[in-house]
């Protein structure tokens, strides 16, 4: 696969380690053909890869217009534009569907309100038994985030590497 990137988007020069670890872990743990939502999609690495290799129907959203433009181009360049919908949305503001999986490498720099808005809010956009998948670094509060998520989800740390925790939070 190839991805166009640009100034002003997350991890513009190379794929982020947290994002690749998250996606590799998901690939080994979920079925094909799912409806997924990639929140904070950036230039589209997660949602487009899920469409391409897991035959997912991917909805992808972000607040960054440049990232959204790139995500649309990247979906076409990788031949999955028919399975990718790219929307501008502040967290879930413009999201109307419900999903089997919500996947996010959350925007830590946007602050706790936005990050917890994405993580907590996911519950309302997941089907029963649906799963929120996220990546958080140990030094960015992975353990306290897991304790917080446990209030609303059944959580599992599926893998850990180089201080990055991959968390599955299941709606029950």
Ligand X SMILES: C[S@@+](CC[C@H](N)C(=O)[O-])C[C@H]1O[C@@H](n2cnc3c(N)ncnc32)[C@H](O)[C@@H]1O
Our finding on whether 21 is near ligand X (CB under 6 A) is no
Our finding on whether 87 is near ligand X (CB under 6 A) is no
Q: Rounded to 10 degrees, what is the CA torsion of 141, 142, 144, 150?
A: 150
Residue number, 58 or 155, with CB nearest to ligand X: 58
Near ligand X in 100-159, by CB under 6 A = 105, 107, 110, 114
Q: Which two tokens stand for residue 127?
A: 């089907």
The set of residues, in sequence order, having a beta carbon less than 8 Å from that of 6 and lying 6+ positions away, is: 12, 43, 66, 70
> Distance between CA atoms of 154 and 13, rounded to whole angstroms?
35
Burial 75-96 (b: 16+ CB within 10 A, else e): bebbebbebbbbbebebbeebe
**Which span (27-35, 42-50, 94-102, 140-148) binds ligand X, by CB under 6 A?**
42-50
Our finding on whether 45 is near ligand X (CB under 6 A) is yes
Q: Residues 10, 99, 133, 165: which binds ligand X (CB under 6 A)?
A: 10
**Which span (59-67, 74-82, 139-147, 161-169) binds ligand X, by CB under 6 A?**
59-67
**What's the closest the beta carbon of residue 166 comes to ligand X, in angstroms?**
13
- As a whole number of Å, the CA-based R_g of the chain is 15
Residue number, 42 or 130, with CB nearest to ligand X: 42
> Distance between CA atoms of 31 and 43, rounded to whole angstroms?
24
* Binding residues with ligand X: total (CB under 6 A): 21
Which residue ranges make up the site for ligand X (CB under 6 A)? 10-11, 16, 19, 39-42, 45-46, 61-64, 67, 90-91, 105, 107, 110, 114
């Amino acid at each position: 696969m190839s991805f166009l990137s640009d100034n002003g988007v997350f991890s513009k020069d190379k794929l982020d380690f947290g994002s690749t670890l998250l996606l590799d872990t998901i690939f080994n743990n979920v079925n094909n053909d799912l409806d997924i939502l990639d929140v904070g999609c950036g230039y589209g690495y997660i949602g487009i890869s899920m469409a391409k290799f897991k035959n997912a129907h991917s909805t992808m959203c972000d607040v960054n217009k440049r990232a959204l433009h790139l995500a649309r181009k990247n979906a076409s360049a990788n031949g999955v534009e028919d399975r990718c919908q790219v929307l501008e949305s502040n967290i879930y503001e413009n999201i109307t569907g419900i999903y089997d999986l919500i996947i996010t490498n959350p925007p830590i720099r946007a602050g706790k309100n936005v990050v917890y808005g994405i993580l907590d809010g996911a519950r309302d956009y997941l089907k029963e038994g649906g799963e929120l998948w996220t990546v958080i670094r140990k030094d960015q509060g992975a353990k306290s985030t897991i304790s917080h998520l446990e209030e609303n989800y059944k959580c599992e740390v599926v893998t850990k590497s180089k201080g990055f925790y991959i968390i599955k939070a299941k709606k029950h």
